[in-house]
């Protein structure tokens, strides 16, 4: 606790966005406290459960070399890091959100993405290339091609622990089991929060508050209310503590709801994963190599284009599609030709997997699936593959199907070479897209389009950036970019208020 019992800035939340806000506010001279609702052993919000990937713009491989200075000469020689210019980031984000993304916020996100990664590196965050997830090995050379190149060392948990270490060194106070309940607010704006800390209700005063405590994905009632019928059945990929409290507190004092409230980031997730994320598994329950095989539902039929685009641009919308299938599940089917291309998350111990040497034997093991229709589906698929087009995992190769009602646009290969493997998946929700409105300074906006004095926000509870879908790796970058801006803005506001 600060000597005066009062802080310049209070940060509500304990994940990537919150800690970046706290570090930024300290960097600009503010005294800072973080209110983390979870106990210490579950700290970190959704960030702790991610794969740690961070999408950012870079114009040359030398940027990657500078961010990962411990790359060996052999690693540099055997890797094509490519480039990911800002223009391509803009194109990807706008296309994937069907051009709904807020143009001002998305510009801030993209223009500040590399600078923010460099800033995080100075805070002590170590980055590594995501070889096992985003770089297929083509003829002995790893090739990155979809903009998701680096991630935090140790994945999400490594990122969170490094951020907490940095916060401790910077002199940030952290309160665990600290659930913020409402904002202290008057005509002059926000001046603190009421929180329940270790079972005791307390008023914490501050000159400014940053809300960075996630969306409402762990609130089954809100999911059913805003996302629609059946969403209460989804598994939650991450923390059990993101129940929309920050959004609710902001709305209660007049913040403007904003963004795509009826949609969310949701993926194919192991059918038998627990209801909430397991910190020891992280994002390992995710099964995102469907683009190299096919996916069938309980009726034994394909129901989506597994090769529509790179998985980074489709995986976050396919959880919703799986949830809409009979029984809310599906099976991903692969043959021996592609098993070496499956992401590392397919090789964890806790996995719902079957294996067989014939398709007939595999069909017998696909629990809940119509065997006869499944075998017909595979036969029709195999006959439809455009075999004249070469398979190439590093690009959208155009090797598709012909004559199927549900096509596969790229990476189509006959399911014909044993051994055959199948993985059962359901819907795992990551975070919700709707939230509160901020401006480019991360200040929260009210219903009259005015800033609410002293209130800033960042991360998953901000609406307006993601609609319908999501480019992989952008969430952590988004939280870091706007967390940094929110922390600086809150510190400057506190200095003026003082």
DSSP of 39-85 = -GGG-SGGGGGS--EE---BSSHHHHHHHSTT--HHHHHTEE---B-
Distance (Å, whole) CA 112 – CA 442: 13
User: Which residues contact residue 379 at a Cβ distance below 8 angstroms, ignoring those fewer than 6 apart?
Assistant: none
In a structure prediction context, what are the per-residue pLDDT tens digits for the chain, which is 498 residues long? 454 569 999 999 999 999 999 999 999 999 999 999 999 999 999 999 999 999 999 999 999 999 999 999 999 999 999 999 999 999 999 999 999 999 999 999 999 999 999 999 999 999 999 986 667 777 788 888 778 899 999 999 999 999 999 999 999 999 999 999 999 999 999 999 999 999 999 999 999 999 999 999 999 999 999 999 999 999 999 999 999 999 999 999 999 999 999 999 999 999 999 999 999 999 999 999 999 999 999 999 999 999 999 999 999 999 999 999 999 999 999 999 999 999 999 999 999 999 999 999 999 999 999 999 999 999 999 999 999 999 999 899 999 999 999 999 999 999 999 999 999 999 999 999 999 999 999 999 999 999 999 999 999 999 999 999 999 999 999 999 999 999 999 999 999 988
Given a contact cutoff of 8 angstroms between Cβ atoms, the answer to whether 380 and 414 are in contact is: no
Distance (Å, whole) CA 224 – CA 262: 10
| Residue 23 preceded by cis peptide, ω within 30 | no
3-state class of 295 per DSSP?
Answer: strand
State residue 498's pLDDT score.
80
State residue 464's pLDDT score.
98
Topology, domain 6-216+433-497:
FAD/NAD(P)-binding domain (3.50.50)
Given a contact cutoff of 8 angstroms between Cβ atoms, the answer to whether 461 and 212 are in contact is: yes
Q: What is the pTM of this model?
A: 0.94
Which single residue is written with the structure tokens 């400057």? Answer: 492
- The domain segmentation of the chain, as residue ranges, is 6-216+433-497, 267-428
State residue 2's pLDDT score.
53
Give domain 267-428's CATH architecture: Alpha-Beta Complex (3.90)
Q: What is the pLDDT of residues 404-453, one digit of tens each?
A: 999 999 999 999 999 999 999 999 999 999 999 999 999 999 999 999 99
State residue 3's pLDDT score.
47
Q: What is the pLDDT of residues 301-349, one digit of tens each?
A: 999 999 999 999 999 999 999 999 999 999 999 999 999 999 999 999 9
Neighbours of 368 (CB within 10 A): 14
């Amino acid at each position: 606790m600060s000597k005066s019992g009062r802080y310049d800035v209070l940060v509500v939340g304990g994940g990537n966005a919150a800690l970046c806000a706290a570090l930024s506010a300290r960097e600009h001279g503010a005294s800072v406290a973080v209110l983390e609702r979870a106990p210490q052993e579950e700290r970190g919000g959704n960030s702790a459960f991610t794969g740690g990937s961070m999408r950012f713009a870079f114009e040359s491989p030398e940027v990657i070399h500078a961010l990962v200075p411990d790359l060996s000469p052999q690693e540099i020689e055997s890797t094509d890091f490519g480039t990911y210019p800002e223009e391509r980031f803009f194109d990807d984000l706008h296309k994937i959100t069907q051009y709904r993304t807020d143009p001002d916020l998305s510009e801030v996100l993209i223009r500040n993405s590399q600078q923010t990664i460099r800033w995080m590196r100075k805070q002590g965050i170590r980055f590594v290339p995501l070889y096992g997830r985003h770089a297929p090995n083509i003829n002995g050379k790893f090739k990155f091609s979809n903009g998701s190149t680096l991630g935090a060392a140790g994945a999400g948990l490594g990122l969170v622990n490094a951020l907490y270490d940095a916060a401790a060194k910077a002199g940030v106070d952290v309160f665990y089991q600290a659930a913020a309940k409402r904002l202290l607010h008057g005509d002059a704006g926000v001046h603190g929060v009421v929180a329940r800390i270790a079972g005791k209700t307390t008023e914490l005063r501050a000159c400014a508050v940053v809300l960075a405590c996630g969306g409402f994905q762990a609130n089954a009632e809100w999911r059913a209310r805003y996302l629609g019928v059946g969403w209460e059945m989804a598994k939650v990929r991450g923390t059990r503590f993101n129940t929309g409290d920050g959004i609710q507190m902001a709305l209660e004092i007049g913040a403007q709801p904003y963004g795509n409230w009826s949609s969310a980031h949701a993926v194919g997730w192991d059918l038998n994963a627990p209801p909430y994320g397991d910190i020891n598994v992280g994002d390992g329950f995710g099964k995102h190599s469907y683009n190299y095989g096919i996916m069938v539902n309980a009726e034994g039929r394909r129901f989506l284009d597994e090769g529509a685009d790179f998985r980074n641009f489709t995986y976050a919308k396919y959880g919703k599609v799986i949830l809409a299938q009979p029984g809310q599940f599906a099976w991903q089917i692969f043959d021996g030709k592609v098993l070496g291309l499956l992401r590392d998350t397919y090789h964890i111990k806790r996995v719902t997997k079957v294996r067989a040497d014939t398709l007939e034997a595999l069909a017998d093991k696909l629990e809940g699936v119509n065997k006869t229709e499944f075998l017909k589906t595979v036969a029709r698929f195999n006959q439809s593959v455009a075999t004249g087009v070469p398979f190439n995992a590093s690009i959208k190769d155009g090797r598709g199907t012909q004559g199927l009602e549900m096509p596969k646009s790229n990476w189509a290969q006959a399911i014909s070479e044993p051994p055959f493997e199948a993985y059962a998946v359901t819907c795992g929700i990551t975070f919700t897209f709707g939230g509160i409105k901020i401006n480019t300074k991360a200040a929260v906006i009210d219903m009259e389009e005015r800033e609410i004095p002293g209130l800033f926000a960042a991360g998953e509870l901000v609406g307006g950036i993601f609609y319908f879908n999501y480019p992989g790796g952008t969430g952590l970058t988004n939280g870091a970019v706007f967390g940094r801006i929110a922390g600086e803005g809150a510190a400057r506001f506190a200095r003026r208020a003082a």
